[in-house]
Each structure stands twice: as structure tokens, then as C-alpha cells.
Structure 1
Amino acid sequence: MTSQPEQSLWHRLLETRLTRRSALGSAAVTAAAVTLPVTLSDAQAAANNGAPVVADPKERISPHSVPTFRPIEPTTADAVTVPAGYRTQILAPWGEPFTDDGRTIGFNHDFVGYFPIDMLEGGQSSTEALLTINHEYVNPLFVGGNTQERTPEQIQAEMREVGVSVVRVKRERGEWKIVADPRNRRIDAFTDIELTGPVRGAAVVKGATTVKGSVGNCSGGQTPWGTLLTCEENVDGYQKAWAGSGYEMMHQGWVTEIDPFDPEWMPKKRTGMGRFRHENAAVTLAADGRVVAYMGDDMQDSCIYKFISRGKYDPQNRAANRDLLAEGDLYVANFGNGSWVLLDYDKNKKLQDAKNGDKPLFTSQAEVLADARAAALAVGGTPVDRPEDIEVHPRSKDVYAALTNNSKHGNFFGQIIKWTEKDGDAAALNFVWGIFAYGGPQSGFASPDNLVFDAYGNLWMVTDNSDLGTNPIKAYHGNNAMFFFPTEGPNMGKAYRFAVGPVDAEMTGPVFSPDGKTLFVAIQHPGEDTEDINNPTSTFAAKPGTKIPRPTLVAIEGFPGWKA
């Protein structure tokens, strides 16, 4: 049971309701209320006098017991709302020039990767980094002003707005800013990308070894050797939208590896990791040093996968590590018996016997990987409720997955699950699992999406509700939001609302700086439901004198130990 002092603290915490609506401009703004620190004694003091306190690590209680902020109320404000004592700053909005050749930040930010500028020298800078920003898709009303049949010029414009931005940032004089760097660049729908693995040169990709572009860039992952894994999700819609552009749908839908530190290294599509609606790739190491990546197929009644490399990670050989994801084995999860099932045409007879009518469903490993969803279901992979982000706990190594929802089966609120691999080894082929948190009015959240752990092992989650404002069962929710969850202790799995996004937007791609003092989060598709460009539903991050909302990053500061 919770001790009496902690109960008293929580009673005070939950009885005090405070909403802060902080509209964002081009500069930082500061919220104005109370921040609760980590230590119990200081927490009680702060609850009484409102003073932000930096915890003494020697006195720190379990960071899993109480959040270090006062949870906020739901809101429908057209702003990023954060707790008292925290501040927000807009960074790298859509359309901002940032490269030597005049390229601008792409549209609809999603995954954000933080690569300390000194990472390759063993450093962990928390004030200077290369950020990678995924750009998932475009809103044709805002990019070109045409929602009907695209003109060739509009198609070209849209193809330049997707992909990835690599952006150098630095914190100076209390604010983050973009700084010039020859590594600042865009990967878009025109970029040359090499195919690696079993699908390279196969008939299913028309013999291609190099393809054009990376699109549908949803979430992603980072490797221990300092590369980005950008995940291609909803790629099929472009076949019609970009008709006549040369777009090849089968060339998309993969995990693409990009080296933010080396512009000369051609990005690689890792076909051994399968083709489906990739949400992200959560990378960890097995007990023997092999690389393991967990991935979800973001669609109703689709599956969760695990890729295990053939080679082993060598911390002294970055060049060799950059080839590790070229070869490996792909597995699908069977939650009915807690097992990982190998998706290998030569080794799994179910794949050889699978039929589409009278015809074999697959005739080669390349075909298995190119339609991994069909292969997964053919071997008994468990269909789940829209698997979005998957992340690995930094200490326990338990794996957490956000299952967003599944209206086909009446699951409108979603849930977060977690599993433990046998013997704690990521390469194990058996696991046990359970529910970590349920969405719904009783928990305050719905439709969990991207996840991130802080250094203590607390879980942070952002939501992905597309029907807020129209679905009466979600009236309790307010705009899409970010929540904090203890992963241990008496409040394990309990959701505490930390931030709320603007109108029609998702908050996506959260990532902490190494010192935990800055949380970067993307604001995606504000004003998404706009029908009249002269009367947008949101004006969030619009340029001065305009109304058009802009996707952007937001840097949130005010965590324990932070100083302006």
C-alpha cells in the first residue's frame, strides 16, 4: 500500500485542478504555476509554497511513484498546454529554410531522433545535436491549395515535402535554434536509396537495386551506432495521388536506414525487416550482441514483428555495424502461446503451402518479405488492435506496445501492453505478456500512439485520436495529449496528463535530450479538418500575418534540474 505521506501528497495533488493555456509564437513562452519535484519531502514543500525544487539525487524516492509535475486538465485550446513551471518553444516549423542550398523543413513532422553532436566521439551533448524529423504526409489544401486532382507542379511540390529532415540544433542563451551545418539536408521522394537484403533485385520490385525516395515516414528508431531508422507506413495512397510521377508503390513500405552524420552514405532500405505499414523500429541488443528490432504494422487486425540480425554489434566498428540490418531473420508474434514464429520461406512449410485460391501465395523469401502481413497471418501471427509504437524499457528490458484501437471489434479506446522475453533476452523465441494500461474515461486517455521512456524508466505516451470533437464517447478527452505513467510502484500504469496539443493535431515523436531537461515533441497536422483555407480550424504556429497552421517541433523545458 502507499504510505500515508504519499497518500496525503496525492490527495492534495488531485484535488488541485489547474489548466494553463499557453499560446505559442515564434519565441518561448513560460507557464506560471507549480512544479512538483522528485523527493518526497521537497514534493510536500512545493505543494505548499509553489516553489520549483531540484531534487537531491541522494534523497530521491522512486521516480515511478509520483510525477514531477502537477497533472493538467483536458482542453480544446489551439495551443500546446503544459503544466505549471514548464515552458515551450517552437523549433523547426514547416517551411523554414535550413540548408546551404535553400531547402526547407518538410510537412507533418512525426518521429524525432536526437543524435548528440559528439556522439561518434562517445559524447552525450544535451545542448547540441543533429535532429532527424520524419515528414509523414502532406495536406494538399496547405501544400498547393488543391484537394482534387493534383497538377504536375503540385505533385512535385508534395514529393519534396515528405521524407526526412536532418537538422543541426543548439541551445544558446536559453533557447534552441537551428544552426548551419553541411550535414543539414533533406531526404525526400526523389532521393536515391539502395535496396539491401533478399528483395534487392527481385522480380517483386522489378529487379531494382536502387529506388527513388522514402515516403510515408511515420515513426522510427535509432541504432546504437548512430543511424536513423525511418519507417514507411501509409504508402499505397500515393499511387493514385502521384499518378504520372514514376512513383512505385512496391519500392516503399520498408524500414530505411539513414546516417545523419554522413551525407555521402547512401540511405538503405532494409528489406529483410519486411514490408508492411511500419510504425516504428525499437532497437535493442540480444544477450549475445545481435541486434533486435521490434516493429508494429499500424492497421486493424495486423501483427507485431521482431527482426534479429545475423551479425553482432561491435562498439569499436561503426562501419561494420552499418551493415548489420542487411541480413537477419524476421519473426511474427503469436500472443496465443507467447511465441515468435519465423517468417522464412525455406524453413517454414506453412509459407510454402499458403495458397491464394489455387495459386501459391509465395514462391520465394523475397515475396514473403514484400507481403509480410499476409505471411504473418498465414503462419499464425496474432492480429492485434492497430499496433503503433513499440519501445523497450531501459532497465527491465520489458517491451511495451501501444495498441491504438480497433473499431472492428468495439475497442474504441485502445490499450498499452507489455511483454517479457524468456530469460530477459531480446533474441528469445518465447515471452509472457499482459495489459499495462487501458484507455477509456476511467484512465483519461484514448488511442495510445508514440511512446518514450525517460532515463528513470517512466513511460510517456502521446495519443492518436482522429475523431475528437465528433465522437461523444471521447468527450472526456479534450485535444490529443501526452501522458506520464509510472512503470513501478503503487501507481504503476496510472495515466497523468502532462501536455495537450492544439486543435486537430497529434503530438508525435517525443524524445528527451540525454540529460532529461528538454523534451522534443512534434506537432503534426494542426488544422487537419480545415475545409476553407481562409478559415482554418487552427492557426497554430502560423507565420506572423498569416492563418495557415504549420506542423513543427516544440521543445518543452522545466524538468527537474532545468535552468533558464
Structure 2
Amino acid sequence: MEMKKPLSRRHFLKYLGASAASLAAAYSGLSSLTHKANASASDINAYDELPETFNPTLHTANDTDQLLLASGFSYNVLAAYGDVINKSGDTLGFNNSYTSFFPLSGSTTEALLWVNHESAQYSWMLDRSMTIAWEQQKQLLNEQGASILHIKKDALGQWKLVPDSTLARRISGLTPIELTGPVRGSQSVNGATLVQGTFANRGGSQTLWNTQLTCENRFETTCRDAGLALSHYGWIVEVDPFDHGKLPVKHTALGRFHHGSAAMTLNSDQHVVVYMGEDSPEGFVYKFVSADQWSDDKKANTAQLLSEGSLYAADLIKGRWIELTIELVRKQLNSMTYQVPTVLNKSKDVLLKQFQTQNDVLTSVSEAALILGATPCDRPAELTVRPSNKQVYIAFTQNDSRGNLHGQIIKLKESGNGETFAFETFITGGRQSGFSSPGALAFDKNDNLWVSSDISPDRLNTGAWSEFKNNGLYLIHPSGTERKTKQYASSPTEAALSGLSFTDHQATVFVAVNHPGASGAGTTSPTSQWQHRFGKKDPRSAVVVITRSLL
């Protein structure tokens, strides 16, 4: 039965906090929520009405090989690894790590769902001595990239995959992609204007003009196995999910590094701003500011907005953005008093040869940022912009080599001109807050922050991380009050929950269940069987739909 009235954002959040944990039924086919909307998007106090639910601080964290949800909620599996997604027979890729919801024009019952695929893993990848055959390379490249799913509500109001759709498709490591921006055709990318594929896709952001940005993260292993040029990867890629004929583009003006996530907004002067986090134990926080201004009247010219602009890295010590230019890099390297950081393991002469043009800066962004004095952070892989005040929230996941075992979330507030900023710790991970190693971040339209933990599989349920059990999904009080942190989901063994995306009225949440059984994936000894096929033991990552149960 079709929904007549959408569930309010406020009621949705209240349902999420119903009571103690319960096991959600896979493929349960329950009907959608049908309560009357009675709260505005500006009502940011919805959190205060949420009742308690299961929380690690209450010693109810879980280590079972199941996806657990707060009572009152159930999930359906929308699609799992290997499921057919379209009429051409394409299948959902490996390790989905991000989702993004695109309603079809004028429809409340049909949509496209973007899904990133972060990695692939096979037993032959563990043997570095062997030569990777072309068929294996194709398999490796096809597993990664992204899937564009066509989803539709059934007669009961549940979102379901349309497996024979002509709208759904794959963007993979085999897809032709155009380079755009300053580095296009330059020596830095071996003269390339067109490159093969995108892979290692972790986070992303919808654009103001309703396209998708996807972030290339740890690309080196795939490049090595597939014999591809390193300089062609590590960029941010833009795809129009609605236009099959338009080639995806890699925006070289946004820089090349291990992109963990991106978040797009507008500054006070109507320039497009893209904040970016680097997924590295000593990564940096960046922002790109477009040269041109955004205008609703110029939507047809949006391609140029990400092709020209300025790239900055954050100096957290001085509270300033450092523009990454070749002039500043060479000036620093030519300074008699400048000492090259030992971590670069290069001399000044070598670096001066490496950095000769702005294109060299854009293809070696991390080194340029370090040379110019940006602040290395404890894996700032994920970030998001708070809609109500445009403050940037950044998850520093953790860096145990520096004693930061459980990470923290900081918030960054820029000054009026955007050149300087103030930042402070919003909340720290650990026993006092009930979660460890913050990963994916997402604000709902009621201004509440949702956080998924990202404890690595080899640390889960061991040592300092033992009490947190499996990775979870948490709601963080808008004030960052640690005692009010609430857990709403617990992932299967070794999995992480990421890529939260809401339908327009927040009656439904889509979540990526990433890398269940990660340590045994691709081997004969799986450590999880979550979403395995009948007669097989291999776990499968999946995208799930969370709705209110009628039980």
C-alpha cells in the first residue's frame, strides 16, 4: 500500500531509539512508516526525546555474526555482492562503503542509489610472486568502482532492487574516464586525457547540481596488479548517474592523494567549496575553492566549477588554510633555513626536481602539504558539513602509533573570509563515550550526527578495543555530550557500517555493510558467513534498507 503521508524526521529518530537491541530479520519485507509529519527541519532538539537503546557503556555491545538493530526496526537486504543489478547482467561490486540517494524526477517511489566499492580480495592477491593474468586483472578491476542501482517501492511500500533495470549500471576499473582540469594532458600524467577506470572508491559527496563525486582511496595495489600508471589514480571522480552517455571525469584541480571522503558546500561568496579528508595515519585536511561562482542560472556550466580553483591544506596549529602553489613550495625548498621532514626521505635537490610546475603539486599533494607546514592528523578519512551552520566535522579515526587508540571528532569553523578557522574537539572516542575509531559521518535533516565506528578487523574484540565488540552505528548528541552517545546498530563479524543515506522524508535509511569477515575474505577460511549464498560459506558485503518494524 502506498504511503499517504511521510514520516517526520523527528518521529523517525524517536523510533530508532525504541529500546534494547534485537536481531533484525533479513529480507523481512515489512511495510513502510506511515505516521503524520509534524516537525520542521529546523527542529534540532529531536535528539533530546530519544529514549535509551543498547550501548557499549551499558555492557551490551555484541560480537555475534549478525547485523543487529535497536528494537522496533528491521532491515531488508537491497543487494549483496554478486547480485545482478540490471538487464545486462552486471553484478554488485565488492566491499560497498558509501551510498547516495537520487530520487527520480517527480517520483517518491523510484530512485537511483549510488554505491561505492572500495576494494577486491582474492586468494591469488596474497601471492606477490605470481604473475597476474589478464582475466584476473579484469576481475579485480570490475569488482571495484561503483554501482548505480535502480530501486522502487513495492506494493507494501518497501524499497526493492529492480534487477532487470535499464537505468542501473556499473562504473568500474574498466570504464573510460576523462581527465579534466590543470593536469589533463600534462607530463605529470604521461600526457593522458583519457584514463582507464576508477577503483578503491571509499567516500563521496553529492554535488549541488545533482551528480556524484566519488573518492579514489588506496589505489596502489590495484595499479600494480593491473599494470596501470599510478598518476592516473587517487583523484576525485564526477559521474552523472542519470546520463549513461556522458563520460565520468576525474577532477585534477582537487588534487591527488588517498581521498577518504569529500563534502561540497557554498561559501559566503557563492563559490563552490569541497572539503576533503586524507585516509592516512598522518593525512591532511584539504579544501578546494572554485574560481567561478555558483549560480542557479548556470547549471549547464557546472563542469568548469571543479576544473579551476585553489587547493588548500589545513594548518591546525595556526588556524589557517595554506594554499598549495608551486611558487610557495619552491620558495620553501630554496630557503637556506628549511629542513626537509625526515618522513619524506628526499633531499632538497630531489624535491626541487620533482616540483617544477603546479601540475606537480596537484599530483603530489601530500608531499606539498607537508613541505608547506600543514598539520598531519590521525587519519582524517571522513568528514561532513553540518547543514545548520556549515561547520566541518572531521573524524580522526585513530593512530595507535602515536597513542591515539580511539580517535576523536573535531569541528572546524571558518572565519568570514574563509582564510582562517578555529577548531575544537567535538567528542573523543573511548570508554567514556562508548565508541572507538569514528569512521563515516552523516548529519540527518534534524541536525543530528550519525557516526559509524571503524575499528580495523585485526583489532576488533582484542586489547584496548575488546569492550567495544563489533563495529557499530551511533547517534552523537549535537552538543557532543559523551554520556548521551547512543548505539543503534552492531555490525556482523569484522564488518563496518558506512554510507548512511536518507530518503527525502527520512522514513528510510540505506546503509552499506562493508567487508564482513574481512580477514578471511578470498580464502578458504571465512571468518563471517553474513549474507552468504545457499550452499556457500563466503560472506558478502551488502546494502541494507532500514525501516520500522510492525512487530
TM-score norm. by structure 2 comes to 0.87
Aligned counterparts, 1:255-404, within 5 A: 255-346=236-327, 350=331, 353=334, 356-357=346-347, 358-359=349-350, 360=352, 361-404=354-397
CA distance in 1, matches of 2:522, 2:146: 28
Structure-2 change in CA distance of 1:86 and 1:178 (3 Å):
same
Partner of 1:137: 119
Residues 383-441 of structure 1, C-alpha deviations (whole Å, 9 max, x = no match): 11000111000112111000000122100100000011113xxx611111100010111
Q: CA deviation at 1:175?
A: 2.1
Is the CA contact (8 Å cut-off) linking 1:23 and 1:78 kept in structure 2? no
Runs of 5+ consecutive residues of structure 2 not aligned to the other structure: 1-17, 341-345
| 1:387-536 superposed matches below 5 A | 387-423=380-416, 428-466=418-456, 467-469=458-460, 471-488=462-479, 491=481, 494-530=484-520, 533-536=523-526
Asked if 1:113 is matched to 2:100, the reply is yes
Q: In the TM superposition, what are the counterparts of 1:175-214 in structure 2 within 5 Å?
A: 175-179=158-162, 180-214=164-198
**Which deviations, in whole Å up to 9, do the C-alpha atoms of 1:120-176 show, x marking residues without a partner?**
xxx5x55421111110101214xx797663443222211111111111111222322
Cα distance in 2 between the residues matched to 1:563 and 1:312: 48
| 1-structure distance, mates of 2:71, 2:28 | 18
CA contact (8 A) 2:30 2:158 kept: no
Aligned length: 512
- Using the TM superposition, give the Cα deviation of residue 110 of structure 1 relative to its aligned residue in structure 2, in angstroms: 0.9
CA contact (8 A) 2:138 2:174 kept: no
SS in 1 for 2:261: coil
Q: Which residue is 2:7 aligned to?
A: none
- Residue of structure 2 in register with 1:49 after alignment: none
Give how far 1:323 is off: 2.8
Query: Which residue of structure 2 aligns with residue 226 of structure 1?
Result: 210
Poorly superposed stretches of 4+, deviation over 6 Å: 52-55, 58-61
**Corresponding position of 1:22:** 24
> 8 Å contact 1:239–1:248 — kept in the other structure?
yes
State the alpha-carbon separation in 1 of the partners of residues 380 and 304 from structure 2.
27
Distance 1:305 1:146, change over 3 A: closer
Distance 1:276 1:146, change over 3 A: closer
User: CA 1:412–1:350 in 2, change beyond 3 Å: closer, same or farther?
Assistant: farther
Give the Cα separation in 1 of the matches to 2:265 and 2:248. 21
Contact 2:328 / 2:372 at 8 angstroms: preserved in 1? no
Name the structure 2 match of 1:174: 157
Q: Match of 1:544, as an amino acid? A: F
> Does the Cα contact within 8 Å between 2:121 and 2:522 map onto a contact in 1?
no
Secondary structure in structure 2 of the residue aligned to 1:322:
helix
Distance 1:145 1:229 in 2: 28
The Cα shift of 1:19 comes to: 3.0
Report 1 or 2 for greater relative contact order, CA contacts < 8 Å, sequence distance ≥ 6: 2
Over the aligned positions, Cα root-mean-square deviation in angstroms equals: 2.7
SS of corresponding position for 2:68 = coil
Q: Deviations over 1:258-317 (max 9, x none)?
A: 110111111110011011100111000111211000001111112100000111222233
Structure 1 runs not aligned, ≥5 long: 1-15, 36-51
Question: Would the aligned equivalents of 2:185 and 2:193 in 1 still touch at CA under 8 Å?
Answer: yes
Q: Residues 88 and 531 (structure 1 numbering): CA distance in 2 closer, same or farther, change over 3 Å?
A: closer
> What TM-score results when the alignment is normalised by the length of structure 1?
0.85
Cα distance, 1:101–1:440 mapped onto 2, change above 3 Å: same
Give distance in 2, aligned partners of 1:464 and 1:273.
Answer: 26
Letter in 1 for 2:158: E
Match 2:135 to one of 139, 147, 153: 153
2:112–2:151: 8 Å Cα contact kept in structure 1? yes
Task: Write the letter of the residue equivalent to 1:85.
Answer: G
CA distance in 2, matches of 1:326, 1:131: 26
- Structure 2 partner of 1:5: none
> Structure 1 residues 196, 352: closer, same or farther in 2, change over 3 A?
farther
Task: Give, in whole Å, the separation in 1 of the partners of 2:89 and 2:437.
Answer: 38
Matching residue's letter, 1:175: Q
Structure 1 contact 345–351 (Cα < 8 Å) conserved:
no
Name the structure 2 match of 1:250: 231
Distance in 1 between residues matched to 2:126 and 2:79, nearest whole Å: 25
Instruction: Show the counterpart of 2:11.
Output: none
Cα distance 1:408–1:318, how it changes in 2: closer, same or farther (>3 A)? same
Taking the aligned partners of 1:255 and 1:398, their CA distance within structure 2 comes to: 22
User: In 2, Cα distance between the equivalents of 1:350 and 1:402?
Assistant: 32
For 1:155-206, what per-residue CA distance to the aligned partner results, in whole angstroms no more than 9, with x for missing partners? 2211111111111111222322122443311111111111111111111211
User: In the alignment, is the contact (CA less than 8 A) between 2:81 and 2:94 conserved in 1?
Assistant: yes
Distance in 2 between residues matched to 1:527 and 1:460, nearest whole Å? 24
